[in-house]
Amino acid sequence: ARVRRTTSPDTDTAPDTDSSPGQVEIPAARWSMRSFVMNTEMLATWWDHYDPAELAAKLTDEQLEMFFTAAEATARFADELHAARTRHREGTASGRAHLRAI
């Protein structure tokens, strides 16, 4: 998950070993399921609206790197989501109920 750095020393979050002294990393806030669905709907077939050759010519190296990082992280998340869904379905099929905190 994305994180933001803070210089506040009075937080419960463990310090980041790569941070400067006095800085800690705070986990990014979780977004709602509705937000996930809306983001997914907005991104559906976005690639149909762009020309890779034009983007390659016009984007900076930094912009391309940001895109590639996001695309790779998205692919990893998709793999994790697929595995979690498989585990969930296998657990449901076996009759094991999962309790959730409310």
| Residues in a beta bridge with 101 | none
pLDDT of res. 11:
45
pLDDT of res. 64:
98
Average pLDDT per run of 10 along the chain, which is 102 residues long?
51 50 85 96 95 98 98 98 96 70 68
pLDDT of res. 98:
60
pLDDT of res. 12:
46
Residue among 49, 50, 70 nearest 58 (CA) = 50
pLDDT of res. 36:
96
- 22 with 7: CB under 8 angstroms? yes
Every domain of the chain and the residues it spans:
1-30, 32-102
pLDDT of res. 95:
66
